[in-house]
Structure 1
Amino acid sequence: MGTGRRRVELAAVRRGAGFTQESLAEALGVDRTTVITWEAGSHAPMPHVRPRLARLLERSSDELDSLLDGRPKAVEFGRPDLDAVFSWLDRLAGWDRGTSRRRVGEELVDVAPRRAVGRAEIADRLARYYGGDSQFGAWVGSVDVLTSVVTWPEWLDLRCELSPHGDRLELSMGAAARWAMDKRAADTAARRLAHAVAEGTRLTDAPVYRLVEADPTKGLVRGQVEVASFLDYALTADLLERELGESGDGLPLRDAWMPDLEAVFDLRGRLCAGGALALFAAARPADPFRGEADYVLLVQERSGQVVNAAGRLAVIPKGFHGPLNDVRADSRIGATLRRELEEELFGRGDVDVTGGPVRAADPMHRERLSAPMRWLSEDPARWRMECTGFGLNLVSGNYEFACLVVIEDEEFWERFGGQIEANWESAGLRQYSSRDGESLEKLIADDTWSNEGVFAMVQGLRRLREIGGDRVRVPPVEWRLGG
């Protein structure tokens, strides 16, 4: 085994066991640079270190020796969560059992970091491909942005309270659609899995909602969803995003699966997964250092472990729309937003479906809620959730429900602001003041945004200007359609 392959496989096994280079070094009582040299292939662990290293990496001594010393062995990734993924790809691609595992191992030898593509470049490239007439754009003060989200005027400025009256997505029991997995798609999926192993991306065969009908209007979000598999999405539709960032001629998967706007809007004819994402705004009292009363606005930097918008800026919470364990009741957009608040900001790891099936009979029962969510639920006047806009994202065909979560009671931030912490899906959190228009204008201009993230941010700021009173000093926000 060459040193390059040893480096990639050892790093992949380490990530699969849940270690960073720093945490593995700490567990072994060595310096981080020692782990770096192991993964670079310039040095190998000393014999007395190997038994403990094998235990930490959940490998036998023979498996670790084979990995480190180059003796031939079957490719193992230390990722039990990928077993179902390999079986899924073998079945759909028509490959013999074990082929996808072998193919991913071969791809790992030469896996390279993905090319960083800016948000504007993605939006512009898709505008050239589809024509661009219906893509959401906006002016925020002097900043002009175009996104990859296609929408209509009647889908914007919805001002839809996510209450039982306004939040009317309903479950349909149809059979989920799937795009054909031909040789090109199967090869691309294998490369996608190799990157997932190398980058530590979480892939779980969790249920998600596929949108089959949408009719959002002011004050009312109506539509139908069906239950689909997240793996079906991750290894078909999500490949379209990867294809945009790969070098090569043309977009052959897009040409086959989503060649025009007619195919984009054919929700029943394709697997249209997606979700809800919200600008989070919490009222704060005046402060002698910070200044007058305002809203604190939270923005996340997405981690490399997520499937969607990895490494990009987004509002928070942001999550795939899918059920916990009540597929009919959870079909409402508000159900996903409440769950994502609990998971991404309020510390509820037990509602994270990427970790496996949810065990609680009623995970959102009042007795299980986090302290911040329980406090909000005691008085509905303390906060509001609204859907501000809807669109279809040309990147992967996802549906996007842009939302706004506003906590009006200043006591919330005084009580719980110090407890709010992003989960594994975020590499970090940023906070902005709703009175700092200059910083917000600069933020909107940042090219590292995800397209759906800036869509939700712009729509959220536009609505916050309408309802926030003196707490808000945001530049004028005006949307448009087209370049």
Structure 2
Amino acid sequence: MNPADEWTGRTASALQAALRMSNEGFAAHLGIGVRTVASWHQKPDLRPRSEMQQVLDRAYEQVGDAERARFAKLTGTAPAETLGDPRLHDDPNIASALEWIDQHAHWSPGTARRAVAAKAAQLDTQALRDRSTRRSWVTQRDTADALAAYYGSRTGEHGLYTARVSSELVNTSILTCANWLDLDCELRPASDRFKVATAQPEADLALDERAATAAVHRLAESLAMNTRLVNSPLYRALDLDIAEHQLAGSFGTTHFVHYALTLDLLEGELVDAIIAGGPPNLPLRDRYLPDLASVLNVSDRLCAGGALALTAIARPADPFRGEADYVLLVQERSGNVLNAARRLAVIPKGFHQPLTDVRRDAQIGATLRREMEEELFGRPDIDNTVTDSLTADPMHPTLLSEPMRWLMQKPGRLRMETIGFGLNLVSGNFEFASLIVIEDEEFWNRYGGAVAANWESSTLRQYSTTDIELLTELLTDVAWSNEGLFAMTQGLRRLAEIGGDRVRLPTIEWEISE
């Protein structure tokens, strides 16, 4: 039986709200007229006839746990601690996020859970989907232009990265400098030399009311949209010493919820401001990343980020496709990822984070090898959003996928380089733009059919390095993420130098905005 002894207009309307349905949708769901549903809103004390009581009983019996919890909240028939989506109580990652909000907002324990439950009960999932669609209409150039207007284009030797593709200029939101471009840095221990200065979490961060409210809203929306949230450790940049043929500096650690509930909120705030038009209102950006000096001062702020790579795989000549070339892989990010959702990007792309060895995994090459296994070769056991792993060494040679094992067996089969570095103004992330080249044609013959993107991609496209026209169109597509376009243009520049007869690419030159 439902929590009310007898259905009234008020409790029937509460069931409709818990199901997040319009009058028309609720009427169709129950198989009754729209006017009847409207009358329940107009007459909350009305007690429907016995036949309608049975209809409402059956509807209530069929709802899920989340809807049942929302109904209890709306009718006041459950204690506060039992309210809301079951993940508020059962998911340890959500529990970590709630505890993090309480701690940093200086709230008493349980306050964030109640706030998130109340907000989640008010959300309309269709409205959130519509907002996601509107956000996807904001182009890469819109974002880059808005950030240039907010920050300006240059400070000292650092400026916004621009690529000139043939005769067309493409702007990005990547803050970089001449010393951070065309690095041609092989991802081997001799040149990939990042260290871990500390594995301890960062100093305490105090959330004011606005920042705490934004964190609550993000968590409530994640629950409503069933977005994957895993509180895994991330590296945070402390010191950067980057030059041609060398990656050096130091990292500390943080946890994903810190990033997801602070700096990662800046992208949505910015895109919504662009959609609204007029003078932008960006209070979170004003708080967390107010100027270019704060962007560059990575040691005094949370600066997470990752590595992403253009993957080029040698293919032999084919009687149907044509001459020998490299196949280039480009993904469209799915709507279930937290950043760059529904944007074009190179693949693999992932956060720089440790698996089990905090010091060894600090190398950028370690992240790219892991992401190859996860995003290209389908190893779910190293995807912490899918499963927990208690393996001591997930990248041990005996655990590698067959394609990766084949690549690692013989020197020269796999080439990995970082070819550019920058700080992305969207969320302040560090971006290691890289290039992965598989030189041996035999790989494509053996394993081309085994290359498949994981849940983070909605589509996976392939392009040939001999198709100048399509590559030019691709580079000027406004659907790119800014970091994806940065990695794509820098990767193609390097591939033009080393690819030999397999490569006929459009001319690409970089510029630093003035």
Q: Same fold (TM over 0.5)?
A: yes
Task: Give the structure 2 partner of residue 129 of structure 1.
Answer: 150
The Cα of 1:198 is off from its aligned counterpart by 3.1
1:200-219 equivalences in 2 (<5 Å): 200-219=226-245
SS at match of 2:337: coil
**Structure 1 segments unaligned to the other structure (5+ residues):** 11-35
Task: Give the structure 2 partner of residue 14 of structure 1.
Answer: none
Residue by residue over 1:62-83, the C-alpha shift from the partner in whole angstroms, topping out at 9 and shown as x without a partner, is 9489589988555432432423
The Cα of 1:107 is off from its aligned counterpart by 4.5
SS at match of 2:262: helix
- Asked if structure 1 preserves the Cα contact closer than 8 Å seen for 2:355 and 2:361, the reply is yes
Q: CA separation in 2, counterparts of 1:383 and 1:252?
A: 45
1:185-264 equivalences in 2 (<5 Å): 185-247=211-273, 249-264=280-295
Q: CA separation in 2, counterparts of 1:258 and 1:408?
A: 41
Task: Give the structure 2 partner of residue 120 of structure 1.
Answer: 141
- Asked if structure 1 preserves the Cα contact closer than 8 Å seen for 2:70 and 2:84, the reply is no
Residue by residue over 1:395-422, the C-alpha shift from the partner in whole angstroms, topping out at 9 and shown as x without a partner, is 0000000000000000111111111111
Task: Give the structure 1 partner of residue 196 of structure 2.
Answer: 171
Residue by residue over 1:202-234, the C-alpha shift from the partner in whole angstroms, topping out at 9 and shown as x without a partner, is 111100000111111111101100111111001
User: Alpha carbons of 1:2 and 1:245: their partners in 2 closer, same or farther (altered >3 Å)?
Assistant: farther
* RMSD over equivalenced CA pairs, Å: 2.8
SS at match of 2:480: coil
Q: CA separation in 2, counterparts of 1:356 and 1:211?
A: 27
TM-score, structure 2 as length reference:
0.82
Aligned pair count reads 452
Q: CA separation in 2, counterparts of 1:384 and 1:5?
A: 55
Q: CA separation in 2, counterparts of 1:323 and 1:152?
A: 28
Greater Cα radius of gyration, structure 1 or 2? 2
Q: CA separation in 1, counterparts of 2:27 and 2:98?
A: 28
Q: CA separation in 2, counterparts of 1:187 and 1:135?
A: 32
User: Alpha carbons of 1:226 and 1:374: their partners in 2 closer, same or farther (altered >3 Å)?
Assistant: same
2:314 corresponds to 1:283: yes
Instruction: Supply the AA of the counterpart residue of 1:124.
Output: D
User: Alpha carbons of 1:235 and 1:414: their partners in 2 closer, same or farther (altered >3 Å)?
Assistant: same
Task: Give the structure 1 partner of residue 413 of structure 2.
Answer: 382
The Cα of 1:7 is off from its aligned counterpart by 4.1
The Cα of 1:4 is off from its aligned counterpart by 6.7
TM-score, structure 1 as length reference:
0.87
2:119 corresponds to 1:108: no
Identity of aligned residues (%): 50
Task: Give the structure 1 partner of residue 173 of structure 2.
Answer: 148
Residue by residue over 1:258-298, the C-alpha shift from the partner in whole angstroms, topping out at 9 and shown as x without a partner, is 11111111111100000000001100001111111000000
- Asked if structure 2 preserves the Cα contact closer than 8 Å seen for 1:277 and 1:400, the reply is yes
Instruction: Supply the AA of the counterpart residue of 2:427.
Output: S
1:49-448 equivalences in 2 (<5 Å): 59=65, 63=68, 66=71, 75-79=83-87, 80=91, 81-96=93-108, 97=110, 98-109=113-124, 111-112=127-128, 113-114=131-132, 115-116=134-135, 117-133=138-154, 134-173=159-198, 175-177=201-203, 179-247=205-273, 249-355=280-386, 357-448=388-479
SS at match of 2:193: strand
SS at match of 2:511: strand
Task: Give the structure 2 partner of residue 42 of structure 1.
Answer: 28
Residue by residue over 1:410-439, the C-alpha shift from the partner in whole angstroms, topping out at 9 and shown as x without a partner, is 011111111111111111101111111111
- Asked if structure 2 preserves the Cα contact closer than 8 Å seen for 1:444 and 1:454, the reply is yes
SS at match of 2:412: helix
Instruction: Supply the AA of the counterpart residue of 1:43.
Output: H
Q: CA separation in 2, counterparts of 1:37 and 1:290?
A: 55
Q: CA separation in 2, counterparts of 1:370 and 1:440?
A: 31
SS at match of 1:380: coil
Q: CA separation in 1, counterparts of 2:374 and 2:23?
A: 36
Q: CA separation in 1, counterparts of 2:342 and 2:19?
A: 23
The Cα of 1:49 is off from its aligned counterpart by 10
